[in-house]
A = this chain, B = another copy of it.
Amino acid sequence: MNENLTADRPTFVTHLECSMTGERYEADRLHNLSRVGRPLLVRYDLDAVGASLSRDQLAARETDLWRWRELLPVRHTRDIVSLGEIETPLIPVPKSGGAKVLVKDEGRLPTGSFKARGLVMAVAMAKELGVTRIAMPTNGNAGAALAAYATRCGIETIVFCPEDTPEINVREIQAQGGRVWRVNGLIDDCGAIVGKGAGEGRWFDFSTLKEPYRIEGKKTMGLELAAQLGWRLPSAIFYPTGGGTGLIGMWKAFDELERLGWIGSERPRMYAVQASGCAPIVRAFEAGEEHAERWEDAHTVAAGIRVPRAVGDFLILRAVRESGGKALGVGDPAILKAVDECARRDGLLLCPEGGATLAAYKQALKDGEVDEDEEVVLFNCATGLKYPMPEAPNWLDRHGAIDFDQL
């Protein structure tokens, strides 16, 4: 069986620090945001990690997420929780994308989305730090991942989602033991309810970036990508950006890998992809702002990136700018067309948010922003099976005469 889940391994967290001010916070204690209301980042003794672990040792381990244990915050092996966090495959999409375009298919993770990466880590840390009741606002997939992992280790969960959250998400949260409420509002309205209850001491607040460990889980996307590509990185990454935890996490991962000497100083251009109907990061990027204002009247078929306000806005914008990338908005018609083309031509069913990255890539190609010779990775953040597909109306009467020429 998988030793990553059972072997005791050394851990190297030294402290946490405010992503805005750099102020230091103690490790191994419960935290939400920093004193100035910004996300906390986990810091490691990377010299000691490097002395303890080599790339060859890593290569000999099972390839799941927990192989990165020395770069993760969980201290005790007994606190690991797992539903099989496999390494997600890189799938070429030559016909709908191009010869050098790879889709990282995060829909293969537990509960069918990349939210599993963040939540498996946050739940394991909650378990380690003695949390017994968690609440969270969600557009769907994060709540499903939370419910699955928390249920698995006996933590109670209460989840709030916008009333138009896909039915399948609401039901899977409940099926997996979460208590779930639909709310007449958007995700930040749900977040306000969670915040109020947390303020009253009713539960621990698991909102995006409001606890420090989801980002450490999401960081494994960057670690994994580097390992899969033989310790190099692609020229560009197109990432569907709502709360942006994954983009921030990958950017952090690349820094840690460079400090370990496992990769060089080259970085992919990071493209933060949003829907034009909810594009606060794109607007702030284009205006040269450091922070993004709330986007009013948010709407898009890609519910996972319908996030009007991101608490880590400045971290997303900073990573995108440092990388030489951009924030890009794509319309719903382009998103749906990309989903359709990828399935119909390459046999790969993307989620709408994954479709958004393909649409953004095609636009960037047209604009000369990327070259078709550049290796590019698109993140498909969830299985396409969770989303509506066009009707298939053909019907045949087996008792009738079948006109085979018409089939």
Q: Is the interface of A mostly helix, strand, loop or mixed?
A: mixed
Q: How many protomers of this protein does the assembly include?
A: 2
Q: Does A261 contact B (CB under 8 A)?
A: no
Contact between B152 and A346, CB atoms less than 8 A apart: yes
Cβ A180 vs Cβ B389 within 8 A:
no
- Contact: B394 with A181, CB < 8 Å? yes
Asked if residues A111 and B398 are in contact (CB atoms below 8 Å), the reply is: no
Chain A positions within 8 Å of B, measured between CB atoms, are 1-2, 63-64, 82-84, 86-91, 105, 108, 110-112, 147-152, 158, 160, 163, 168, 170-177, 179-185, 189-190, 192-193, 196-197, 200, 202, 228-230, 340, 343-349, 383-386, 389-392, 394-399, 402, 404, 407
Residues of B within 8 A of A64 (CB): 89
Can you name 26 A-B residue pairings with CB atoms under 8 Å? A1-B229, A2-B89, A64-B89, A83-B348, A86-B86, A112-B385, A147-B347, A148-B348, A148-B349, A150-B347, A151-B345, A171-B389, A172-B385, A174-B392, A175-B340, A175-B344, A176-B347, A176-B349, A177-B347, A184-B398, A184-B399, A189-B398, A190-B398, A193-B396, A193-B398, A196-B402
Bound CA–CA A87/B184 (angstroms): 41
**B343 adjacent to A396 (CB under 8 Å):** no
From known contacts A90-B1, A229-B1, infer whether A175 and B395 are also in contact, taking CB-CB under 8 Å.
Answer: no
Sort A-B residue pairs by CB-CB distance and give the 7 closest, nearest first: A84-B89, A152-B347, A148-B347, A171-B389, A174-B392, A151-B347, A181-B396
Q: Which B residues touch A182, using CB under 8 A? A: 392, 394-396
Contact A404 B148 (CB under 8 A): no
Closest chain B residue, CB of each to CB of A389: B171
- The answer on a CB contact under 8 Å between B84 and A170 is no
